[in-house]
Structure 1
Amino acid sequence: MHLSTEAIVCAVLAHGEHGAIVRLLTPADGLRAGYVRGGRSRRLRPVLLAGNVVQAEYRARTEDQLPALTVELVHSRAPLHGEPLPAVAIDWATALAAVALPESQAYPHVHAALDGVLSAVEAAPAARGWAAALVRYELLLLSELGFGLDLSGCIATGTRDDLAFVSPRSGAAVSGGAGAPYAARLLRLPPFLLAGGEAGWGDILDGLALTGHFLARDILADRRGAVLAARERLVERLRRVTA
């Protein structure tokens, strides 16, 4: 097996004294793991940072063997790791891809969305510039993995107008009128997820609560530990920004 491609660094796990097992998200071949000799060296540590774009070369004698992986830096997002809020956002967005996606299956839309979020963080490190994109990325990943929300119309009345809530059980939209008596038991559906455009802080936090519920229930149910802890740190810091 030989694969040469650009890819986004999503996860790095120390292996042995000097090596690392690295998971990269590629545009056409999905999430791919490989062993990087010297991956923990002073030369390669700055290359193998989450969110960086690298040129990757995978080589293995058989498809069942963990490939040897060599990387060259294409684009560095290292400066963002020195900024507390962007660093947490990058850690969460890349860790989600590394944990949620099955290996060696193509998810070009997820790759494009992740690259878009990382580029938004880079272009405007202030959270207002990228937080809405992060919510859309999480929503897309849910959909790509078969857990998409049904926001096409109200599950109770069929109307496509005034959609204001989502059922936490079915993942289906509920109109404001039908959902008002049960608002305390429903998740708020922020307008920017339907109509696009800019989002206020309240809507962004509602969006993160919405996607977070279904990510924890449907995708990360058995893998909550460190991955969801990264998301909780991110949401808590966003709340501080908006306070």
Structure 2
Amino acid sequence: MRLLTEAIICAVRAHGEHGAIVRALTPADGVQPGFVRGGRSRRLKPVLMAGNLVQAEYRSRTDEQLAQLSVELTVSRGALLSEPLASAAIDWATSLTAVTLPEGQPYPRLYAALEGLLAAIEAAPSARAWAAALVRYELLLLSELGYGLDLSECAATGTSEDLAFVSPKSGRAVSRSGAGAYADRLMTLPPFLLAGGAAEWGDIFDGLRITGHFLGRDVLIERQAEVLASRERLLTRLRRAGA
């Protein structure tokens, strides 16, 4: 097997004395693992950082064998590690991707969305400018894994007007009239998830509450649940930024 592709570094784990096992998201071949010889060296450490965009070459004799991976840096986001909020966002987005996506299955929409999110974190003057993109990325990942929310019409009445809530059980939208006396049991649906555009902090936290609920219930279970700690660190910093 030989694969030459652009890739986003999502996870790096030490292996042996000097090597590293890297999981990277590619545009057409999904998450691909590979062994980087000398991956813990002074030269390669700044390259093998989560969020970096690289040119990757995978080589293996058989499909079952862990591929040897060589990388060349294309875009470095290492400077963001000195910014606690940006660093936490990159850590969460890449960790989520690394632990949830099955290897070798293409997710071109997720690749484009993740690169867009990372570019926004790098370029935006404030967290509010990219936090809405983070919510959309989590929502897209749920959808791509088969746990998508249905926000097209009210689960109770069938209307597409005045959708204001999401059912924590079904993941379907609910209108104000359809919610009735059960409104306090539902999650608030922020307008930007329906209409797009910018979002205020309150809307962003409403969106994160929705995606966090379904990620924790349907995707990040058993050992994968450990990655939720990085999301909690990010939420703590976002709350400070939005205070």
Q: Smaller-chain TM-score range? A: over 0.9
| 1:223 positional shift | 3.3
Match of 1:55, SS state, is strand
User: Equivalent residue of 2:223, what SS?
Assistant: coil
* 1:108 lines up with 2:94 in the alignment: no
Stretch moving more, 74-83 or 176-185: 176-185
The reply on whether 1:37 has 2:37 as its aligned counterpart is yes
Q: How much identity, in percent, do the aligned residues show?
A: 70
- 1:108-142 deviations in whole A, cap 9, x for unaligned? 00000000100000111520110000000000011
1:216–1:224 Cα contact (<8 Å) kept: no
User: What is residue 48 of structure 1 aligned with on the other side?
Assistant: 48
Does structure 1 retain, via aligned residues, the 8 Å contact 2:99–2:224? no
Structure 1 stretches lacking a partner, 5+ long: none
Match of 1:174 in 2: 174
CA distance in 2 between counterparts of 1:168 and 1:225 reads: 19
TM-score (norm 2): 0.98
Matched residue SS, 1:130: helix
**Corresponding residue for residue 74 of structure 2:** 74
For the residues of structure 2 that align with 1:94 and 1:179, how far apart are their CA atoms?
36
Give the Å deviation of 1:183: 2.3
C-alpha displacement at 1:187, in angstroms?
Answer: 1.1
What stretches of structure 1 move > 6 A for 4+ residues in a row? none
Cα drift, residue 88 of structure 1: 0.2
Once the two structures are superposed, residues 20-66 of structure 1 have per-residue CA deviations (whole angstroms, 9 ceiling, x without a partner) of 10000000100000000111111111000110001111000000000
Q: Does structure 2 conserve the Cα–Cα contact (< 8 Å) formed by 1:86 and 1:125? A: no
Partner residue in 2 for 1:28: 28
> Structure 1: how far apart are the matches of 2:166 and 2:225?
26
Q: How many angstroms apart in 1 are the aligned matches of 2:223 and 2:100?
A: 9
Give ranges in structure 2 of 5+ residues lacking alignment: none
One-letter code aligned to 1:76: S
Q: 1:228 to 1:118 in 2, by over 3 A?
A: same
Deviation at 1:224, TM superposition (A): 4.5
Structure 1 residues 231 and 125: alpha-carbon distance in aligned structure 2, compared to 1, 3 A threshold = farther
Q: Normalised by the size of structure 1, how large is the TM-score?
A: 0.98
- Shift of residue 91 of structure 1? 0.4
Q: Shift of the alpha carbon at 1:81?
A: 1.1
The question of 1:230 aligning with 2:236 is answered no
Name the CA distance, whole Å, in 2 between partners of 1:204 and 1:158: 26
Name the CA distance, whole Å, in 2 between partners of 1:5 and 1:119: 19
1:160 and 2:164 are equivalent in the alignment: no
Output the aligned Cα RMSD.
0.9
CA deviation after TM superposition for structure 1 residue 222, in Å: 1.8
